Amino acid sequence: MSYLYFLGLIFLFFLGITIKAILSTSELKKKSQQVRKVKILDNIANTVCAIIADRITSDYEIPLNINSRMLLRDSLDEIKRQASLRSFEAQGDILQIVSGIVFKIIFEEIIPDVKSHPFIISKKGRDLAKKIVGKEKSPREKARLIFNWMQENISYDHEYSYRKEGYHTAEEVLRKGKGVCGEQAYLFIVLVRSVGVKAQYVTVDRDCYDKKVTHACAMIDVPSPILVDPAYHIFDVKHAVFCVVSDSDLKGRHGR
């Protein structure tokens, strides 16, 4: 009897160890899955931001307004918190949560912000800029080649005064093939930035003829700053009174 009792204790001992090992393995597997799922979320977030960044060539440190960045970050943190509390059966569950939280922000907050950005440009537009400059290395000559291309392909929009929707973005000007002074400046800036030339938007109060105007052009750093005015058809124009405008101020001034 004592012998059988002893064997029973040994059996229960090893059974307990086996069960504990199984539970530990299962727990480790769950933790591994959770880590993997959180990595998936990070990849999704990074991909979303990369897609948005790929559509903009501005001097923004991060190409989203501060509210959109905070909303996106907070939502991703919430998804990760839920992932740590819940057991998902498949990646589809994660994607469903992402579509419900992050995608809402993307379509309601970020995309409207991006679409109204004056310096939005497609890959096709950036490829065009690279094609125009070819193998040219000089920043000044790159800018001149793009300026010359615009003189031949972008005309002044004389119907602007009849428009009600405000300034067009660089992408829209490129597609339509015409724009007013500020819109042409948008396009020039985004094209030269696409090939590595620093450029900024400039408002002009008194032009190169010393005439009081409401006008706009671009400033490039090659390496010394010069003004380039596609609408006036002058490269290295000498306007009398002008002001450099930051990208963030432009977004607020011209975003529709």
The pLDDT tens digits for 166-214 are 778 888 899 999 999 999 999 999 999 989 999 999 999 999 999 999 9
Region for 175 from its dihedrals, namely left if φ exceeds 0, alpha if ψ lies in -120 to 50, beta otherwise:
alpha
pLDDT above 70 for 140:
yes
* Position 10, amino acid: I
CA distance 112 to 114: 5
Asked whether the whole model's pTM tops 0.85, one would answer: no
Average pLDDT for residues 140-164, to the nearest whole number? 88
Q: What band does 163 get if pLDDT is binned at 50, 70 and 90?
A: low
Q: How many CB atoms lie within 10 A of CB 35?
A: 12
**Under CATH, to which class is 123-254 assigned?**
alpha beta
> Can you tell me the distance from the alpha carbon of 52 to that of 237, in angstroms, rounded to the nearest whole number?
34
The mean of the pLDDT values for the chain is 72
Least confident of 48-62, 77-91, 172-186: 48-62
pLDDT at 170: 87
3: left (phi over 0), alpha (psi -120 to 50) or beta: alpha
Task: Extract the tokens encoding 167.
Answer: 């300034």
Question: How many CB atoms sit inside 10 A of residue 98's CB?
Answer: 20
217: enclosing H helix or E strand: strand 212-221
User: Which tokens sit at 221?
Assistant: 């750093």
Q: Given this model, what pLDDT does residue 243 score?
A: 96
pLDDT at 113: 55
pLDDT recorded at residue 123: 80
Average pLDDT over residues 68-82: 58
More reliable by pLDDT, 203 or 44: 203
Hey, what are 6's tokens? 């002893």
Peptide bond into 223 cis (omega under 30): yes
Higher local confidence (pLDDT), 67 or 182:
182
Reply yes or no on whether the pLDDT at 5 is more than 50.
no
Highest average pLDDT, of 6-10, 37-41, 120-124, 244-248, comes from 244-248
> What are the sequence ranges of the domains in the chain?
2-115, 123-254
Q: pLDDT band at 60, cuts 50/70/90?
A: very low
| Mean pLDDT comparison of 54-58, 67-71, 83-87, 147-151, highest-scoring range | 147-151
Model pLDDT, residue 244: 94
- Are 231 and 181 contacting, i.e. CB atoms less than 8 angstroms apart? yes
pLDDT band at 46; cut points 50, 70, 90? low
Tell me, what's the pLDDT at 77? 61
Query: Who has greater pLDDT, 118 or 87?
Result: 118
